[in-house]
């Protein structure tokens, strides 16, 4: 596929905070039905970049395009209306509320009777039933009436994803979805992401875990100091190559030099261990 198949593109996307350049001239593309990983060290510009994509920050310059058409977001709700949902690292769950209440947080279905029409009384049974459908979609067996604070980290991540799916988005942005999870919890979340890709959802995956990225994603975009250093297909990219780009390698010679040094360091470590 070429970038003409992209569901989302950015063209020279830039964000300044005063004299600080957080993101500079990024050309990015997300194809329909793919997982595009976005990696970079702390301060590389990942958070600022995705906040422009979901309407939190207004770009200083450049364009965001959906299906080839330039668009502008006034706020997060505009991005949602255009089919973009984001699950942030902190999840923003109300831990003392039920799973069902969190899936519909701020968008609770109301009863169809007089009380519902006049007073906006929540239809709790409909909320539970529809929450269960969303949880079934991510294949996490969680009781809709359970309190979120009683769930594991992986289950809470699944609840956050189920909430994002309520608007039936075309694009899902996931910010470090496996950070601080157990091995089993991370494995379940990665399976959910893979299943959603197989359903045709386009996913931007922000992660520090390069091994996971190379296993799960279709392509990876690397940011360093606010600039896009390169885009690689994960079926041919190496971990050392991605790390070299994260460290600011500008060309193939610098990448090759980094990979050679990495191999030499590994040999030294093995010799010392022996």
| pTM of the predicted protein model | 0.85
Mean pLDDT of the chain, nearest integer = 87
Vertex 69 angle, CA 88 and 35, to 5° = 40
Task: Tell me the pLDDT band of 260, cut-offs 50, 70 and 90.
Answer: low
Query: In the 8-state DSSP scheme, what is residue 74?
Result: S
CATH number of 1-83+169-273: 3.40.50.300
State pLDDT tens for residues 28-79. Answer: 999 999 999 999 999 999 999 999 999 999 999 999 999 999 999 999 899 9
Q: What string of DSSP letters covers 25-55?
A: EEEEEEETT-EEEEE--TTSSHHHHHHHHTT
Contact between 70 and 64 under an 8 Å Cβ cutoff? The reply is yes
State pLDDT tens for residues 173-213. Answer: 999 998 878 888 888 889 999 999 999 999 999 998 999 99
Q: Where in the chain is the domain with CATH 3.40.50.300?
A: 1-83+169-273
- Residues contacting 133, CB < 8 A, separation 6+: none
Residues 94 and 79: their CA atoms lie apart, in Å, by 23
């Amino acid at each position: 596929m070429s970038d003409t198949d992209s569901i989302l593109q950015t063209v020279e996307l830039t964000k300044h905070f005063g004299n600080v350049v957080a993101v500079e001239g990024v050309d990015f593309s997300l194809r329909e039905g793919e997982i595009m990983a976005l990696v970079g060290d702390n301060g590389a510009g990942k958070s600022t970049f995705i906040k422009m994509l979901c309407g939190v920050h207004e770009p200083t310059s450049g364009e965001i395009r959906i299906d080839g058409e330039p668009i502008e977001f006034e706020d997060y709700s505009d991005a949602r209306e255009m089919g973009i949902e984001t699950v942030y690292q902190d999840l923003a769950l109300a831990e003392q509320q039920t799973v069902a209440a969190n899936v519909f947080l701020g968008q609770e279905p109301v009863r169809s009777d007089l009380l519902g029409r006049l007073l906006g009384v929540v239809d709790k049974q409909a909320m539970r039933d529809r929450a269960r459908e969303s949880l079934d979609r991510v294949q996490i067996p969680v009781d809709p009436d359970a309190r979120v604070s009683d769930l594991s980290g992986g289950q809470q991540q699944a609840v956050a994803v189920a909430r994002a799916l309520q608007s039936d988005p075309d694009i899902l942005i996931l910010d470090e979805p496996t950070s601080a999870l157990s091995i089993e919890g991370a494995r379940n979340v990665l399976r959910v992401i893979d299943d959603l890709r197989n359903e045709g959802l386009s996913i931007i995956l922000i992660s520090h875990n390069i091994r996971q990225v190379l296993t799960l994603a279709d392509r990876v975009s690397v940011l360093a100091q606010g600039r896009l250093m390169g885009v690689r297909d994960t079926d041919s990219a190496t971990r050392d190559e991605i790390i070299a780009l994260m460290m600011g390698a500008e060309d193939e010679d610098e990448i090759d030099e980094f990979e050679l040094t990495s191999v030499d360091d590994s040999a030294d470590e093995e010799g010392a261990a022996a």
